Amino acid sequence: MNLFESFRIAMRALAANKLRSILTMLGIIIGVGAVIALMSIGRGVERYVTNQFAGLGSNLLFITPGQISEGPPQQRIDVRLLTLTDANALADRSRVPSVRAVAAEYSASALVARGKQSARSTVHAATATYPDVINWEVALGSFFSQADVDERARVVVLGADVYRRLFEPNEFPLEQTVRVDNLLLRVIGVMEPRGGGFGGNQDDSIFIPLTTAQDRLFGQKTVSGDYQINVIYASVIDDAAADQAQIEIGEVLRERRNISYLDSDDFNIISQDDLISVFGDILSALTIFLGAIAAISLLVGGIGIMNIMLVSVTERTREIGLRKAVGAKRRDVLLQFLVEAVTLAVLGGAIGIALGISGAFGISTAFESFSAVVGLDAVLTALLFSMAVGLFFGIYPAYRASRLNPIDALRYE
């Protein structure tokens, strides 16, 4: 008996018990579907994260406040704040030659309103270098200047979504007035749409001078009266200078903050590669966890296939005896039942692939921030895995069928 004939007989046997076949394939369908959906979503998220960091500009370093502690951690943990003076020190090219430009930012939430339209948005209180450093273009008008920062000007640049929410489609926003909490600001620009980002929708933001925000809106200053910031962005001159830039930044900040050589930094210097690596580690851990669940589903599916094939061998004992009586060899019977088990697993895998792809694109459509990426390698891996499950769990029932004595099989009632 050739392989094609075995496949034809297997399909006929499966078609004769449709409901049982579908229920048997369920574990394989769930397992393969989970693997495909997981891999597709994971690759989509990975590409999305990479694109998000690429959109911030190449060779960008993030400097954030660190923690200092005295005694056991449960007794005291303090956060050492960053200030605008820290950012200005890092902008000194004579001391930090590996850094091209520096921007400082303090972000918080505020109510943004115009007329009857209002909503809470993220306020980015920043320095004038902000759009250049993080590679974000202005679509209409201009960003505020250093003079605006020095003069604590009451100006604002709107994110694309805030503009659409506060203004009519054809309404010109420049020189119009909006209210941020209780502060009236003049619109001087609108940013290019950027879409979703880390922590939320980047277009649902407004941008005002850091000095304006801290003097007139938030009032977040240190005891010495310096302006408090959340993060400093440092754009490195090129790829090769990234490590050197981190050393230079660390030296300047340690000197400014009077940190002795025995003490740890009270600030963090994070590169884009560091963030991508951390995100990759999180994604890998999640992949392993969900992959384990998928493996359990495949194991259950494989056990189901073996169980139903053993039942099938018992039900078709007389058929096996008759085939052997008319000349079928052991390998013919072995091949027939093995092909039937593999066919059951591969069909389940194919259905699982279709459902997994549909589920992945459905989830990505719901989130609207990333698109699932279905790779040919993932599909082939799923099919091969299904085939392996069919072979592994089908070999014992097939072997058992091939070992039946034809005389005893024909007597079986």
Read off the pLDDT of residues 21-36 as tens digits, 9 standing for 90 and up: 888 888 888 888 888 8
pLDDT at 213 over 70: yes
Task: Report whether pLDDT(192) > 50.
Answer: yes
Confidence of residue 184 (pLDDT cuts 50, 70, 90): very high
pLDDT, tens digit, 9 for 90 and up, residues 11-69: 777 777 778 888 888 888 888 888 888 888 888 887 777 777 666 655 889 999 876 55
- Give Cβ neighbours of residue 104 (< 8 Å, ≥ 6 apart): 82, 84, 87, 126, 127, 210, 229, 231, 232, 233
pLDDT average, residue stretch 361-379: 79
**Residue 159's pLDDT band (boundaries 50, 70, 90)?**
very high
pLDDT for position 57: 57
In angstroms, the Cα distances linking 393 to 2, 16, 35, 339, 387 are 22, 21, 20, 12, 10
Q: Which pLDDT value is given to residue 413?
A: 59
Predicted confidence band at 76 (pLDDT cuts at 50, 70, 90)? very low
Q: Name the band, by pLDDT with cuts 50, 70 and 90, for residue 199.
A: low
**Per-residue confidence (pLDDT) for residue 138, from 0 to 100:** 94
Contact of 19 with 308, CB cutoff 8 Å = no
CA distance 111 to 118: 7
Three-class secondary structure of residue 176 per DSSP = coil
